[in-house]
Structure 1
């Protein structure tokens, strides 16, 4: 009897303490997030993103800058990996959306609604929107954090659902984990720094200035005649091997492979025929002496997981490991082209 009394007493005390602590309900937290989204005018964040989609985990450092006003929404997302020669940057400013590859002195320009058209794992306002838009979300409180599980709207449809962890006091993002339909972890992001009171100047989202600064940081050669640059290009040419997609649409078959030698090195063209025909071009990439920009028009950046590609109406272009890849088709959907591109970075079995 005494044990039962003590148990009841502990339960009552625990309930009183929780009430006194003022823990918020899911509805109250969601209302706070909605208000934060409406009042947001910018932030700076740093995060570590780990991709579990290959044979080995691949980790990127991500710097995120965001500013918005009555005129526009401005973004700079810098993706960096010590083991990757070609770090990339996504910039949105008054001139459009840009994907920069400073090591090559190249950029793609889009007239795009990015990042509003899909979920973005490293953008705070996108995570809030995913929480607000999912009426079937789950909610929990755990060790000073709010934990939400929501549906997703990523370009990669294998990214099925996500766990978003927010600080319970500031509502700042802590971690994000994205799973496939079988609850296998595919992507994780850990925010290490986050500042909602960050200040910006006029040059922070300028494409040319960011390209120049990043190129200097990565020590991009000022001339293609540079001996060290020539050595790197020669090595890339000697190690060049054609990569084949492990995924291809049903009914499509490889019917031709054309190999040529250009002034920049080897080039391979793979032609697939069938109901959904397409062509894949692969060639050794070279750095430009002066900054070069390709105007894609009404396209958008596409996150392939291992790099950011430029998607136009009937094509997809990306750079990876010293090679430029290009898929062109009038039959494939954009999702099909993206699936083919993602399948070209899985295992050594793709290289022939």
Structure 2
């Protein structure tokens, strides 16, 4: 009798141990993610972002630094052009920096609280935690999540798949459109939780003069190098999307102290203009009444003045600017449609 009782006790103990070693339920996984989101003090991540919305995939190196409560540094480098943009948030505001062009803009903004980004870890955590219809698939070495994509600046993205290891470090993200095509993919190469930073890591001046231990070529140096080339003409592009009911009315080229500028006027219910020109150095030290916007392939500057919106951004070495009364969603669609376009001949 004692032997039977002893065997039963052992079996009960083994079953308890096995139960404790079993796979976590989706509810337990989401609970773990919620706790990590609340306790996260800082992190560093590196990865490669591939965008498939143009005629050919385009790659960007993405590096993210975060320190609680609101310090951010996001570096986006076009691997083909070796051009870097930096999104920075510190106690002075939100900055969009283009170091090699000596361009800086400062905003009074709560970015990125109301504009999730696929390369931000906290955005991925929130998308999983907040989606009650999420799908969680545990695997031997990772967890896979399928959740809704919630990127207000690109309504064509509807679903995302997220892979994390069993320590909940991000591995890969794929964002799909309604045709199940992968439009954006981020492959994380490294992720360091509870990272430490230099005292001036989020300082605007430091990030304008150097990043990741590299010196930044200035606009003057690039122009000097360009003077040695036989062709330094302005590259002009045509948008692939124009709102219904609009058409190009006329196009003029004007000479400015910084070179030619091509101005195209579009007629419609809310007329707008497109200006294309050589980039010039601009430092906006006063906070602008606008916000940074994610165009997928670059970061744009959206300002509102006298009832009109002004969206400016860089593409293939050309500075573009849209000005008009178009709704923001339409303005962004026009700008996003430049990706993958060929220079006009």
**TM-score class normalised by the smaller sequence:** 0.7 to 0.9
Q: How does 1:6-25 map to 2 (within 5 A)?
A: 19=19, 21-25=21-25
Distance 2:108 2:18 in 1: 51
SS at match of 2:53: coil
What's the offset of the Cα at 1:165?
A: 0.9
Structure 1 alignment gaps of length 5 or more: 1-14
* Structure 2: gaps of 5 or more residues: 1-14
* CA 275–231 in structure 1, closer or farther in 2 if over 3 Å, else same: same
Equivalent residues in 2 for 1:332-351, closer than 5 Å: 332-348=326-342, 351=344
Equivalent residue, structure 1, for 2:321: 326
1:275-294 Cα shifts (integer Å, max 9, x gaps): 121111100114x3xx7236
Whose strand proportion is higher, 1 or 2?
Answer: 2
- Shift of residue 226 of structure 1? 6.9
**Given the alignment, which residue of 286, 293, 297 partners 2:288?**
297
Q: How far apart in 2 are the matches of 1:127 and 1:164?
A: 8
The structure-2 alpha-carbon separation of the partners of 1:221 and 1:123, relative to structure 1 and needing over 3 Å to count, comes to closer
Q: Which of 190, 196, 199 is 1:193 aligned to?
A: 190
Q: Distance in 2 between matches of 1:249 and 1:129?
A: 33
Measured after TM superposition, the shift of residue 153 of structure 1 is: 1.4
Q: TM-score, normalised by structure 1?
A: 0.86
> Aligned partners of 1:245, 1:127: CA distance in 2, in Å?
31
**Mean CA deviation greater in 83-92 or 187-196:** 83-92
When residues 67 and 319 of structure 1 are mapped into structure 2, their CA distance, relative to the original with a 3 A threshold, is: same
Partner Cα distance (1:222, 1:53) in 2: 29
Contact conserved, 2:163 with 2:172, CA < 8 A, in 1?
yes
Q: CA deviation at 1:272?
A: 0.7
Residue 222 to residue 275, structure 1, CA distance change in 2 (3 Å): closer
Which residue of structure 1 aligns with residue 108 of structure 2? 111
After TM superposition, the structure 1 = structure 2 runs for residues 33-48 of structure 1, keeping only pairs within 5 Å, are: 33-48=33-48
2:180 is paired with a residue whose SS is: coil
Deviations 1:98-123 (A, max 9, x none): 11111101112111111111221111
Q: What is the 5 A alignment of 1:247-258?
A: 247-258=241-252
Tell me, yes or no, if the aligned pair for 1:60 and 1:79 is still in contact at 8 Å. yes
SS of equivalent to 2:144: strand
| Aligned residues between the structures | 326
- For 1:309 and 1:294, the matched residues in 2 are separated by 17
Asked if 2 retains the 8 angstrom alpha-carbon contact of 1:88 and 1:101, the reply is yes
Instruction: Give the distance between the partners of 1:64 and 1:208, measured in 2 at CA.
Output: 18
1:159 aligns with 2:174: no
RMSD: 2.3
Asked if the contact 1:147/1:163 (under 8 Å) is kept, the reply is yes
| Aligned pairs (5 A) from 1:131-210 | 131-154=128-151, 155-168=153-166, 170-210=167-207
Q: Identify if the C-alpha distance between structure 1 residues 216 and 125 changes in structure 2 by more than 3 Å, giving closer, same or farther.
A: closer
1:315–1:194 CA distance, 2 compared to 1 (3 A): same
TM-score by length of 2: 0.88
Tell me the CA shift for residue 201 of structure 1: 2.9
In the alignment, is the contact (CA less than 8 A) between 1:103 and 1:218 conserved in 2? no
CA drift of 1:60 comes to: 1.1
Q: How does 1:48-87 map to 2 (within 5 A)?
A: 48-69=48-69, 73-87=70-84
